[in-house]
Structure formats: C-alpha cells, structure tokens
Structure 1
C-alpha cells in the first residue's frame, strides 16, 4: 500500500522493506523544503509500546516524524514486528518459536537501517522512544559490530537493562495503572515477555545496559521526570560515558513517560526541540566532547 501526500511541507509515503522475516512496513517523511540542511542525516525512528503494541499511526511515531521532517530531517518510521501480549504461565518451546520475540524486532530494524543506508548513502541517526529506545540502542550495537556506522543514536525515555535497576534516589512514583505496569516488577515481566521465558537475555543486543559499549555512537538521551524507567536511562547514560561515548542528556521537567504521545503538549514541543537542536549540531561536535547534562 502506498500513500503519497503533503502535510506541513512534508511528503509522506507508506512503503515496505524486505527483511529476514518478511516485509516490514515503513513510512517515509521527506521534507519538501530542506531549510538549508542539504546534508541532514536521515532519522530511522521507532515507536514504543512495551515491545507488544504500537504502530506507525500512534503520535509517538507519526507526530514525532512529522515534526522532525518539517524541520528539514528525512525520517523513516518502522512498523517492527511485535511480541505477543504478556501472558501468565509457562510458554512451550513451540510457542516461543512462533512468536515475534527477540531477536525478530531487532532483525526488522537492522534490515531497515541497512536499506536506508543502501538507498540514501548518507548519515543515519537511529532513534526511538521507550521500548523503541531500547530497540534502537540494541540495534545500534549490533549494526556497529556488523561493520556499520551510525552518525548518532537518539533515545527518548528509554529503558536498557533486562533487570530494571533499583534506584538509590527518591524518584516520583507513577500514578494510576502505571503503578503496576511501570513498577519494577511489571517492567521486568515485560522484558521477560520480549525475550521469552528464560533466565536472562541471550545477548546485549536485546538489552545493551550493562554490556560492552565501547565504540557506541554519540547519543542524545531525553528523560521524563516522573518516570520509573528513568533509573535505567540514567544508568545507561553513565555506562555510555564510561565507555568513551559522547553523551548529551536532558531531563524534561514536569513530564511523564510517553510525553511524545501527546503532540499538543508543552513537553512534546520541548522534546522535539531538543532533538532538532542536537541533530543540527551533530556533525559539528568535537570527538572529545564530554558528557553534557541539562534540565529543561
């Protein structure tokens, strides 16, 4: 299926990419006007949803892509295969093989990144939000180990550890249903559902936190203030810095997890502006620039 229209000076086209598990739906956002960004990197962007839900039409995918493309950056969003809904009880070997659990989503994203690289030949930034941020980080690590090169990685309120780390700080607690789904127990159960009912991740391409991160591309991390997943994101940023990567991180004050799913909110605008500012200076950063932290 192909859709071609123009919105906010952005040309939008639905397409598909051939991958190892079949076709992968993607959506391309091309700036009609480049705003002078003739060498702008292409952003491959991944939605969140706990690895088991979400798609190309959710605001965290579509609205973010539109906002970045309107600022002159080509964007490709990816409808990667989703793991099944979390269930209670033991899964058989056959059920695990029939599911789209890890490494299938990483395989999908890797195929799209390679396709974009072959097609455009320019710089690529891989990014995502929440579970999409974890996918982006894991795929970036695998792409690098396969000999690929990314211009950078863009991670919004992500989590990166198979076992969610405990906090030594007093972070604001989530409210409503997130008191359960975003509890440490709930997050660990979600991660086990993604990789299958095993004792731990098969490798650090599933959850790169705590792994060998040397050579990881320069990264932007944007965290929500009222977010239990912030503990993992902050630890991952520290791990990246210790491994020698350039890291810029920001905290959007007053925000909650998944604020990019609310395009009419002030926190959405703040997040997009941080992304655009980082993308604009991406090629200008000196290689030895230290970790930068700010609160917005």
Structure 2
C-alpha cells in the first residue's frame, strides 16, 4: 500500500509522520526514528524508508517520524578527512541538510517522539493495527530518542510501547570505554566510523545545548532507574564504537528486571540499516518484527 504523510505538532514545532501500511497487517505497528547524530538524516534515507518497507514485509505497519533536527553547531567536529569512498564531505553534508527546515534542541525531538507514539496508538485501528501492539524503535540517535521517549511514557503512565526496538543506539552522554577486543576491531576504520568519545560527546552536547541536560534520563537514559521500561530488543554492530553503550545499558535493564535481548551482527559496521539489501539489515528488521 502507498505510504502517506500526516502532519503533527508537538513542543511548538510542526513535524510529520509517514505511515507505511502493511499489505497484510498482523496488527503490529512500530513507530520508527532514523539516526544521524541528532543533526542529520531524514525519513527519505534507507535507515528510515527502506526499514519501514521491510517491516511491511512482516505485516508490521511502520510510522516513520520526521522529527525536528538539532542545530548544526557540532558540524565542525565531524572529521571527514578520511571518509570511505562514496561518503559526502562535510561541505556536501552541510549543503544537503541546510534545507531541513527549522531546527531545535532537546527536548523537542523527544517530545515529538512521544506525540508520534500517542498518534499511532490513537489511530492504529485505521490501518489494521492493534493499539496494544504499538512498538517504539530507532537506530543510532533515533535509538536514543526511542529510549528516551520510553522513559517519558513510563513516567507519565498510560499507554506504553509493546516493545522497544533499538539498532546500534547511543544511550550514554559519554561513551563507556572500549575493551581490547573492540579496539582491535576498530583498527583500520575511517575516523568518522570509530566515533571518538570526544566527537560523540560533542554531538550529544549539541543535541541538548545545556551541559546539565546531559544528565536528564529522558535525554540519555543510561545510568538512571530502568525499572518499568518495555521489553527491549537491541541489535548492535560488531565493529562499532557505540556498541559499548548498548551493551552497558542492556546490563542495566537486566539488573532492573526488564526483559531484554541483545544481539551483535558480526563484522557489521555502524549504520548497516542504510545498506539496502544487506543481510544484517534484513535479519535485524525480522528480529524486531518478531518481537511485536
């Protein structure tokens, strides 16, 4: 079925969701958030569009969120000097995303994520969904937004995600240290794919603006009370510096009594959901659909 856009408003900003109705709906729905260091990305990128279509193959209707991006203040910290072939330069990235519309820092995208979830629950029946089977998920920075929204929903009470589905997310404002095994796997990768802690922290700080907000559990949930969060499925990339964040947070969830499963895609790099037809990407969407 043909996807369609729905305009919404939250936190003083207009945004939209794109609904991908499953041709043969099972009743499951996922509200999905793309990644991009909080500053980049759109619902047109494969990590949003292709993922949403693949959810449909499993009978899951996807609601892709075109949330308001953060300002570009951290762009100079993005080292593209040795970017892989085919990756855009910093100048190309800046030109591409300059037309993304109004920008705003936390908590705008976080509140929009909650609003998108609430909309999906309210209208699930209109596209063959079950309001009790609406999941919330995302990749990279989108995984952060999904997790933060889950914390907001838990604190608020009422409708809660049927499952939290995260691909290579960042849950810490400062990445946990990498062990020898991961450090060895990162050798030889372009700098921009190794996520140096100082660069990642610059992106994270840019997303919130105020340094004090890095400690807000709805901005970066790691290190806070995880009790009462939804059943969670996490998929990481083996050769990804952000893997330390996902692994540490999964341990926190388990200790808090949250039903959590974590899987590592061997040899995969961060952002593999952007690779159309990639086997790891197809497996990941299938795992997420099964959780719903």
Output the TM-score relative to the length of structure 1. Answer: 0.82
Post-superposition shift, 1:203? Answer: 1.3
Q: Structure 2 unaligned runs (5+)?
A: 77-101, 125-130
Q: 1:190 aligns with which of 200, 203, 207?
A: 203
* Other structure's SS at 2:17 match: strand
Match in the other structure for 1:58: 45
SS at match of 1:209: coil
Residue 67 to residue 87, structure 1, CA distance change in 2 (3 Å): closer
Q: CA deviation at 1:190?
A: 0.8
Pair 81,177 (structure 1): closer, same or farther in 2 beyond 3 Å: same
1:74 counterpart = 2:61: yes
2:181 is aligned to: 170
Q: Deviations over 1:9-29 (max 9, x none)?
A: x33112212323232111001
The yes-or-no answer on 1:254 pairing with 2:267 is yes
Q: 1:200 & 1:206 partners in 2: Cα distance?
A: 7
Larger helix proportion, structure 1 or 2? 2
- Aligned to 1:59, the other structure's residue is in SS state coil
Structure 2: distance between partners of 1:193 and 1:70:
37
Taking a change above 3 Å as real, the CA distance of residues 183 and 239 of structure 1, as seen in their structure-2 partners, is same
Query: Displacement of 1:278 after TM fit?
Result: 2.6
> For residues 106-185 of structure 1, what are the structure 2 equivalents within 5 Å?
106-120=110-124, 121-148=131-158, 149-171=160-182, 172-173=185-186, 175-178=189-192, 182-185=195-198
**Cα distance in 2, alignment partners of residues 157 and 87 from structure 1:** 21
1:41–1:124 CA contact under 8 A, matched in 2? yes
What CA distance in whole angstroms lies between the structure 1 residues aligned with 2:103 and 2:272? 29
Give 1:87 deviation, angstroms: 3.8
The count of aligned residue pairs is: 257
Q: How far did residue 103 of structure 1 move?
A: 0.5
Give the unaligned 5+ runs of structure 1: 1-9, 90-97, 280-296
Q: Is the 8 A contact 1:166 1:231 kept in 2?
A: yes
What per-residue deviation string (whole Å, max 9, x for no partner) do you get for residues 170-223 of structure 1?
Answer: 20216114256x111111111111111424525100000011111011000000
Aligned CA distance change for structure 1 residues 87 and 229 (closer, same or farther; 3 Å): closer
Residue in structure 2 matched with residue 24 of structure 1 by the alignment: 15
* Match of residue 206 from structure 1: 219
Q: Is the 8 A contact 1:162 1:200 kept in 2?
A: no
2:94 maps to 1:83: no
Q: Which residue of 1 is the match for residue 95 of structure 2?
A: none
Cα separation, 2, equivalents of 1:191 and 1:30:
33
Whole-angstrom CA distance in 2 between matches of 1:115 and 1:18:
11
TM-superposed CA distance for 1:41, in Å, is 2.2
CA distance in 2 between partners of 1:266 and 1:42 (Å)? 23
Give a deviation string over 1:22-45, Cα, whole Å, max 9, x none.
3211100111223xx2xx321000
Q: Which has the higher contact order (CA 8 A, sep 6+)?
A: 2
